[in-house]
Structure 1
Amino acid sequence: MATTPSHPGIVATGLRKSFGDHLVLDGIDLRVPRGTVYALLGANGAGKTTAVKILSTLISSDDGDARISGHDLATEPDAVRAAIGVTGQFSAVDNLLTGEENLILMADLHHLGRERGRRRTAELLEQFDLVEAGRKPAATYSGGMRRRLDLAMTLVGSPRVIFLDEPTTGLDPRSRRGMWQIVRELVAGGVTILLTTQYLEEADELADRIGVLDHGRLVAEGTADELKRRIPGGHVSLRFTDTHRLESAAHVLGRVSRDDDALTLRVPNDGSLRSLKGLLDRLDGESIDVDELAVHTPDLDDVFLALTGKPQHEKVTTR
């Protein structure tokens, strides 16, 4: 089947996988539009890496089907491999080679030919700010440099879909943000990315949509804001210039928490545009002026705890 830009980057239906009597994936469905980032969140052992291995043809599923960039995972595995790149949790960089030699090796594996391979290597060294380090052994690279080289190696074949399995684990904040910028640039160029991560901030920063895996099941899916609004605790803080306005607003709004000293009211609210408009319309209808308004919504930590019942950093046996 010919691939066209209209095809979603990734479509999966009913993926299941067990190792012995241990069920790792319990029928997950995914749809990732072309040129977007989809983040899979989950504690260790939730099934994130297994999902990536299945979708990247490294292992087979027990049930379900998937299409990657328009190609059927089961019947067109070679076409799938030609369309994807994979950056795993553990670096594929050869420490005995220089950065340039690592990239040239990947170019040779992709059968780019000598001239094209050298040209592609030079492009990637430039793109990933590795020109000066390119002729040094990879063993001398910092963690951030190694991860940049690892991703550059993934891009040698110009994949249309990239699987990033916890790509910034162990990186310092500066290196992590550098990787985020690279991901944004790839997506701007039309690349589709499926990202697994244990950094909630990373998913919040990068993902167009987020799926939460728990014990092999996709227990929630949506944008970061949609997921946050599902969790109780959201509220709007209103500050007034005097006690009279505070009293009037408390009377109109009903169920609120108040702080008379700070002249503020805390009103339960999911933070959606409709809810905010309704709240302001009620105040406006009574000609009550608000001096200051702040919206507080649960963060992804709250989402994760509510949906999985465990802290995001909790370590579970990984498969």
Structure 2
Amino acid sequence: SSIYGGNLPTTPYAVNKDGRGPTWNNSLFEDNAEFGLGMRLTIDKQTEYARELVKQLSGTLGSQLTEEILNADMSTEAGIEEQRERVEILKKKLANNDNPQARDLLSLADVLVKKSVWIIGGDGWAYDIGYGGLDHVLASGRNVNVLVLDTQVYSNTGGQSSKATPLGAVAKFAAKGKDIPRKDLGMIAMSYGHIYVAQVAMGSSDVQTLRAFMEADAYDGPSLIIAYSHCIAHGIDMSKGLDQQKLAVKAGVWPLYRYNPDWAKSGKNPLKLDSKAPSIPVSDFAYNETRYRMLLRNDEARAEHLMKLAQEDTNARWQLYEQMAAMRYDAPQEE
């Protein structure tokens, strides 16, 4: 996020009319996930302490306000706004109270309102350098949201190959074309069973992208969104980036899906495929990009061989996802 969001004079982060918005923090490239988990643990501990103080000060706050704050449903934006109003009432009640517990609660009152933690990074971090930390954080079960801006190369250091680089693409350290498939980070995360996972491409479906973000934020547990992010390293006209995203989905190299563990609790398949079966060959997508055409010019035979492998891999992956999405799930038995 230091690359995408931390450079002045512009920033993608903003506040609303009330001054509320994202609080941006940054540590190192490689400890992104652990740093975000630390933020989550801090918020959780502060919230736990604030709730204890609310219980202890119920006589001052009143039983009704105490119950409403402690039992607030903040699964929707409306519920969060209602909790903000309750917290403002709490602050007014404690404003002139010199009780040490009241002063502590006044300083922590804002954590009684749900706070989302988003960990943002690229594929070089998520697939490679920081993968161990990312895996640890996702496996922790904590309520963090991870957004991977997947450019399929190390964009910030000059376009080096990463484990997200697709088969057949040329990149630094893969001058003859990557000869193995890209790592399927979403499939690995889904294997845990308790992680919300989505793969999105805004150029193909902005509705599916928005839905994934809303579901990930609402999910009470770790979530992972892998977002197709076109890049100058792809060798495309960047003004046509969204069109190329659409072709990636049509070719099946970037299937759109959402995996929500909550659906399995009601006997539904947790995986939903949001894109249709591939309708164009991979080459129709790939040869719009210099990273694929470069090999075609320099070594046509190798390019054709790798493209054949890429098509076979795409077909196999799609069939696997299709079978997973068609599986029958039974609702868990009540104890």
Return the TM-score normalized by structure 1: 0.20
More helix per residue: 2
Which one has more relative contact order, counting CA pairs under 8 Å at least 6 apart?
Answer: 1
Query: Which structure is higher in strand share?
Result: 1
